Amino acid sequence: MVKGAQGIRHWGIELDGFTAGPSNSIADVAGVTVGHTTLAAGAIQTGVTAIRPHQGNLFRDKVPAACCVINGFGKSIGLVQLQELGVLETPILLTNTFSVPAAAEALLDLALSENPDIGVSTGTVNPVVCECNDGYLNDIRGRHITKKHAAEALNACSQRVEQGAVGAGRGMSCFGLKGGVGTSSRQIDVEGHTHTIGGLVLTNFGRLESLSFAGVSVHDLMATSEGTAEERGSVIVIAASDLPCDSRQLQRLARRASVGLARTGSYFGHGSGDICLAFSTGQTIPHKPEHLTYQRQALHEDALDLAFRAFGTMVEEAVLNSLICSDTVTGRDGHTRYSISQWKSEIIGRFGAHGDRPSL
């Protein structure tokens, strides 16, 4: 992580008129925590990032969830059942493409240790792991991530969310520059109550020539020898909110991830795996309810527009934060991805020349 880098707001640039949460991170949603395990040694540049929706037993108290596959060039696990049943029953792990099985093993270990009845007197469990291909910087064929590394990320979860070239983001590339993990949050008011929407992104997509920084094209300011000829990357967006949304509403929210990604310059190319998973902590769904019918709160559809607006620019900010907070990394075969932070003054100068960006 670049020392002192705390995201685009610390460059004096704001994308909209929404208020961010206290830490401007996904952990502003009460109960949500994030942890990383990072491997950084020569050709090994990879890691695992864990997101816990709440601190209890997630298999016993599931959360409403949904996913949106914008472009399906991906190898995630657990999304089919999540989409069918509309619930999340394990933490979410992010890692590189070939480490998905190891990460899933760690989630199985956690769920089985907490729930002795799984596979005996109740059903199985649905681990959720999402991935991007970090093979440009990382020796991905070596499969250096083990279930121990994934367990360490789960155990490291806290409200302090580190951004940049950490965890699963260590070996990722974004717009031909150093990508990684980025996060942001927004607070919205619904009938006098403040609710929070938080997001975390794993960025590994985009062509340098397409990069739009807060509405301003900046690619010509950066001369690197490590460009990208095609859109052959991926991005995972994790959205959390304390709004009382059901799975269908969360899927509607997840679709709006494409709005924020497009603002940064993504066009979701053929070889790009672009996925958003959204969950709500506003209420939990018991694995074994006392009664087969129970009451749940529901957000009225008319309240979703405000959430859609906030979510779009939040995703945009999280992507830019993943760039700003990443340091330059050299990995496999001497491949290098440069931090966008070295062009900070040039970018700020160009943005200032275009005036303040209007609120959406």
Residues 275, 33, 119: CA angle, nearest 5 degrees: 75
> Could you give the number of structural domains in the chain?
1
Question: What CATH number is associated with residue 342?
Answer: 3.60.70.12
- Residues 270-321: pLDDT tens digits? 878 899 999 999 999 999 888 788 778 888 898 899 999 999 999 999 999 9
As beta bridge partners, residue 197 has 186, 241
Residue with tokens 């494409």: 258
Instruction: Give the domain range for residue 47.
Output: 8-347
Chain-centre distance of CA 192, in angstroms?
29
Domain assignment present for residue 337? The answer is: yes
The CA–CA distances, whole Å, from 284 to 60, 74, 334 equal: 9, 29, 47
- Does residue 156 form part of some domain? yes
Assess whether 272 carries a catalytic annotation. Answer: yes
pLDDT of residue 338: 95
pTM reported for the whole predicted model:
0.94
Q: How far apart are CA 167 and CA 35, in angstroms?
A: 8
Q: Is residue 302 annotated as part of the catalytic site, yes or no?
A: no
3 assigned to some structural domain: no
Residues 25, 76, 210, 234: which is the catalytic one?
Answer: 234
Give the active site residue among 76, 272, 280, 341. 272
Pairing of strands 234-241, 193-204: antiparallel
Note the pLDDT of residue 228.
Answer: 53
Confidence at residue 357, expressed as pLDDT on a 0 to 100 scale = 47
Residue 249: per-residue pLDDT: 96
The active-site residue, picked from 25, 274, 280, 326, is 274
| Domain presence at residue 160 | yes
In a domain, 183, yes or no: yes
Segments of the chain with pLDDT less than 50: 1, 3-4, 354-360
Specify the pLDDT at position 92.
98
Q: Is residue 356 part of a domain?
A: no
Whether 296 maps to a domain, the answer reads yes
Beta bridge partners of 36: 49
CA dist 55 to 31, 91, 187, 243, Å?
6, 10, 22, 18
Provide the phi-psi class of 68: left if phi over 0, else alpha when psi is between -120 and 50, else beta.
beta
Q: Is 99 a catalytic residue?
A: no
Tokens for 100? 């998905």
Question: pLDDT at position 34, please?
Answer: 98
Alpha-carbon distance values, 111 to 16, 80, 105 (Å):
40, 19, 10
Residue 1 near residue 8, CB atoms below 8 Å:
no
Is residue 1 included in any domain, yes or no? no
Q: Are residues 210 and 266 in contact, defined by beta-carbon separation less than 8 angstroms?
A: yes
H/E stretch holding 332:
none
